[in-house]
Amino acid sequence: MEWLSMLEAFGTGLIGPTAWYVVWTLVKIIIIAVPVILCVAYLTYWERKMIGAMHVRLGPTKVGYRGLLQPFADVFKLLTKELVVPGQANKVLFILAPVVTLMPALAAWAIVPFGPDLVLSNVNAGLLYLMAITSVGVYGVIVAGWASNSKYAFLGAMRAAAQMVSYELAIGFVMITVLLVSGSLNVSEIVWGQDRGMFADTGLNFLSWNWLPLLPLFVIYVVSCVAETNRHPFDVVEGESEIVAGHMVEYSSTAFALFFLGEYANMILLSAMASIMFLGGWLPPVDIAPFTWVPGWLWLGIKTFCVVSLFIWFRATFPRYRYDQIMRLGWKIFIPLTGIWLLIVAIWMQTPWNIWQ
């Protein structure tokens, strides 16, 4: 973009190339992080409103116009409460655990492209970076359960870790298949790969996206993301009637808020990646006006909003699974299915009917 080049030239001349690079990178991080945090806050509002509508209730209505300031009231309430650290807990790890849970969910946005040139770091190994950084979140859960020095918290942490690792394998197989059909680990290239083919040439972009040929993997990915984030109906980790909030049972105030933010930040991140890998990212569904007038980052936001709303829909609809059912679904159904579909796609790509050429 021309104005970006002019801004870079001005900043470089003002404070030098090295200092400008540091300052401009920090500015871009803030531009990404602040909207993501606001989206996390208002996702809690949307969840309460959406479930309220499904249950014929109103949801938040008192704080601000139609309850729009409720997320800020919740944050203020949590920040003003006392942070209680158990006497026998490992205090350093106890405080560090929620930070380890939240930071990977924010750091992963470094490789998420909001448009053709709107990405913080357009690295070639973006998908590999995403898989690595999101895997770190499980350590926060384990450390929280262990550092609390509570049997309930430790039991919840072990169940959470086993569940997260199980469904990360299925998500990994899905990402490998997307890598196979895209021919690149670069996240932007994955989006551009969905802008090719017979349907894209005729303007029907949505029929060239990966959701259609990889529909079983798309379904598995969304369900695995629900389990990965310990959301209902896979929330046995936090089952109040069983182990009283799991690994977070000893947490309060700001530390509890960080765990809460980490869960919702992961929901938005995984929904954004679903939009990028299967729903064309920033690409419009059809290549005609007025769809082409909408900015790419807004298309990505709309698709992410639709996917993350599925998390809420599932919570309002399905009963909670037993823990053995959750583990059986991951190990005996999803992992074999993703492996088989990966083999089918690999064979498909060697035939004359390869649609990803």
pLDDT of 180 higher than 80? yes
One-letter amino acid at 3 equals W
Q: Which of 43-57, 238-252, 330-344 has the lowest mean pLDDT?
A: 238-252
- Cα 46 from Cα 59, distance rounded (Å): 9
Mean pLDDT of the chain: 85
- Give per-residue pLDDT as tens, 203-236: 788 888 889 889 999 999 999 999 888 888 887 7
Model pLDDT, residue 344: 92
> In 141-263, where do the E strands start and end?
none
Please give the average per-residue pLDDT across 273-302, as a whole number: 89
Model pLDDT, residue 201: 79
Helix/strand/coil percent split, the chain, to 5: 70, 0, 30
Q: How many CB atoms are closer than 10 A to CB 302?
A: 14
Confidence of residue 3 (pLDDT cuts 50, 70, 90): low
pLDDT of 274 higher than 90? yes
> In the chain, where do the E strands start and end?
none
One-letter amino acid at 95 equals I
Tokens of 244: 């009283």
Please give the average per-residue pLDDT across 349-356, as a whole number: 84
Model pLDDT, residue 263: 84
Please give the average per-residue pLDDT across 102-119, as a whole number: 86
Its pTM stands at 0.90
Model pLDDT, residue 66: 84
Model pLDDT, residue 241: 56
Q: Which of 71-75, 77-81, 198-202, 305-309 has the lowest mean pLDDT?
A: 198-202
- Cα 330 from Cα 220, distance rounded (Å): 10
Please give the average per-residue pLDDT across 239-264, as a whole number: 76
% of the chain surpassing 90 pLDDT: 21
Please give the average per-residue pLDDT across 149-154, as a whole number: 82
CB burial readout 50-87, b (16+ within 10 A) else e: bbbeeeeeebbeeeeeebeebbeebbeebeeeeeebee
Element at 164 (helix H, strand E):
helix 151-182
CA 204 and chain centroid, separation: 27
**Residue recorded with tokens 């599932």:** 314
Greater confidence (133 vs 20) lies with 133
One-letter amino acid at 301 equals G
- Cα 352 from Cα 347, distance rounded (Å): 11
Q: Contact, 252 vs 84, CB < 8 A?
A: yes
- Cα 338 from Cα 332, distance rounded (Å): 11
Please give the average per-residue pLDDT across 144-167, as a whole number: 84
Confidence of residue 247 (pLDDT cuts 50, 70, 90): confident
Confidence of residue 60 (pLDDT cuts 50, 70, 90): confident
Model pLDDT, residue 244: 61
pLDDT of 349 higher than 80? yes
Q: Contact, 335 vs 171, CB < 8 A?
A: no
Model pLDDT, residue 2: 61
Q: How many CB atoms are closer than 10 A to CB 343?
A: 11
pLDDT of 162 higher than 60? yes
pLDDT of 329 higher than 70? yes
Count how many residues are written for the chain.
357
